[in-house]
Amino acid sequence: MDLLRFLTAGSVDDGKSTLIGRLLYDSKSILIDHLEAIKQQSRNKEEGELDLALLTDGLRAEREQGITIDVAYKYFSTPKRKFIIADVPGHIQYTRNMVTGASNSELIIILIDARKGVIEQTRRHALIASLLQIPQVVVAINKMDLVDYDEIQFLTIREAFKSLSKGLHFRELNFIPISALDGDNVVSPSVHMPWYLGDPLLEFLEKVNVNSRTELNKPRFPVQYVIRPQSGEHLDYRGYAGKVINGSYRVGDSVVVLPSQRKTKIKSIEKAGKEVMEIEAPESGVLLLEEDLDISRGDMICVLGTEPKLYNEFSGWVCWMDDKPLKPGNRYLLQINSLRVKAKIQSIPFKIDINTYQKLENMELAELNDIIRIEFITSAPLGLDFFDELHANGQGILIDENTYSTVGAFLFSKN
C-alpha cells in the first residue's frame, strides 16, 4: 500500500494536535484502550467532549501547558493509503523541530487560525517548506466555526497566503477551510460550508500524487562500518557495511570510492547474512570489492560515472538552532550521512528576513532560528549532491565541537 509522510505546522494553538487527533479518531485508527485513557484525561470530560489533542500531546510538560514542544509521530491508515504524521511545535524557539519533521516529508499542512490570518510563524514555516522543497503544500484554515464559517474570511486569508508565496517555490498549493474541533471538512464534507466545493482533507490526502524524491541514476552508499573479522575462515574478509541511500548496486558494477577516487568492482553483496546479486535503496547490506582499498567510515561508494563532485569550499542554507550566535570564523563539525569533517564558517553572505523574505546582506552573526546562507571551508573534501537533485546526499547537520550538540541544519544548494 502507498505511504504518505506529511507534517502539520502552524503557530501555537492553531489546532495542529486537535487536527491530527480528529484524523485518527474519525478514521478509527485509535486502539480502544488508548481511547479510554484519553477519555479519562480529557479536560472537557464533564461536558462529555473528547480532548483530541491528547492523542498526540504525549509529554507531561505538553499536557500541563497545553502546547506541543516536541515532534510527535503518529501512524494511521485507510483502505487507500498509509500515513506517517509529524506534529511539530508551534513556538518560535522550536523552529529546529519543524526542520527535523519536514526533512523527510512529502507534504505539509500549514494551519492558520481563521481569526488571526497570516502571522510571522506562518511566514517562517512557509519559508522552511519552500527551502526543503516539500512537493505539496496544504493550507488548512482552521477554527472556521469561530468566524461563523465565513467564506469572505477564508478567501481573504487565502489571498494573503498566495501573496506571500510569490517569493517562494511551491509546486502546488491547496486551501481547505476546516474546523478540527468539530470535524468540518476533515474527514467528511462540512454542512456549514456549502460554498467550499473541494475535497475534505483526508480525501485529499488519500488522492494526492507525490513523486518520489529518489533518483535511481545516482547510486549512493555511505560506508558506516568496515568489517574485518581476521579470524578463522574469515581471515581475509573485508566488507563495507552501510545503507543504500539512493539507487541500486549489482555484483560486477564498476565503482569509485570518494574522496580517494580509487576505482574497482563489486565482487559480492550480502544482505541479512546472505549473498544477493543486487541491493537497492533503502536497504542495508555489505559490499565486498575486488581490490583491497583504504576505505573507512564516511567514505562513499558510487557507481562509476554517476559520482558527485568533490567540494572543499561551498555554500548552503543553514537554520541556526543554538542559543549561542554563529559568527564568521567559528568552527564546527559538519556531518553528511556517516561522514563527519571539520568546517570553518568563512562568511554569512545574507540571512532571510522572515517578514519580507528580503535578503539582509553581509551579516556579522546569526542567532537562534535564523535562516542564513553560509560559505564553508572543510578539512577534507565531501562528495555532495545539490539538495534539489538528491535530497539524501544534500543535507546534514552542524555539531558543536565541544558539546557535540546539534547547532544547525544544513542544505547544500546552488543559490
Binned at pLDDT 50, 70 and 90, residue 415 comes out as confident
Query: 352 has which bridge partners?
Result: 359
Which of 109-118, 230-239, 240-249 is predicted least confidently? 230-239
309-320/406-412 β-pairing: antiparallel
Same domain, 198 and 152: yes
Q: Is the pLDDT of residue 31 over 80?
A: no
Residue 325 counted as domain residue: yes
Q: Is the pLDDT of residue 24 over 60?
A: yes
Residue 213 counted as domain residue: no
Residue 171 counted as domain residue: yes
Same domain, 282 and 318: no
Q: What are phi and psi of 117, to 5 degrees?
A: 75, -160
Same domain, 138 and 61: yes
Same domain, 141 and 28: yes
Residue 215 counted as domain residue: no
Same domain, 199 and 240: no
> What is the average pLDDT across 393-404?
94
79 or 47: which carries more pLDDT confidence? 79
Which of 12-26, 91-105, 115-129 is predicted least confidently? 91-105
Binned at pLDDT 50, 70 and 90, residue 42 comes out as low
> What is the average pLDDT across 312-320?
94
> What is the average pLDDT across 249-275?
96
Residue 214 counted as domain residue: no
**For residue 89, what is the domain's CATH number?**
3.40.50.300
Same domain, 173 and 248: no
Same domain, 94 and 160: yes
**For residue 238, what is the domain's CATH number?**
2.40.30.10
Same domain, 191 and 44: yes
> What is the average pLDDT across 101-109?
81
Q: Is the pLDDT of residue 212 over 80?
A: no
Residue 130 counted as domain residue: yes
Range of 338's domain? 309-412
Binned at pLDDT 50, 70 and 90, residue 100 comes out as low
What's the pLDDT score for residue 73? 73
Q: Is the pLDDT of residue 290 over 90?
A: yes
Report how far residue 251's alpha carbon sits from residue 101's, in angstroms, rounded to the nearest whole number: 36
Distances (CA, A) of 79 to 21, 28, 84, 207, 237: 19, 12, 15, 12, 47
Report how far residue 226's alpha carbon sits from residue 298's, in angstroms, rounded to the nearest whole number: 10
Same domain, 296 and 361: no
Q: What nine digits make up the cell of 47? A: 461536558
Q: Is the pLDDT of residue 260 over 80?
A: yes
Q: Is the pLDDT of residue 91 over 80?
A: no
- Counting the structural domains of the chain, the total is 3
What's the pLDDT score for residue 128? 86
What's the pLDDT score for residue 58? 47
Binned at pLDDT 50, 70 and 90, residue 35 comes out as very low
Same domain, 320 and 174: no
Report how far residue 394's alpha carbon sits from residue 219's, in angstroms, rounded to the nearest whole number: 14
Q: Is the pLDDT of residue 92 over 70?
A: no
What's the pLDDT score for residue 95? 60
Same domain, 184 and 294: no
Q: What nine digits make up the cell of 291? A: 581490490
Same domain, 60 and 101: yes
Residue 385 counted as domain residue: yes
Tell me which of 303, 322, 352 is where a domain ends. Answer: 303
Q: Assess contact for 372 and 353: CB atoms under 8 A.
A: no
Which of 7-21, 64-78, 134-148, 295-309 is predicted least confidently? 64-78
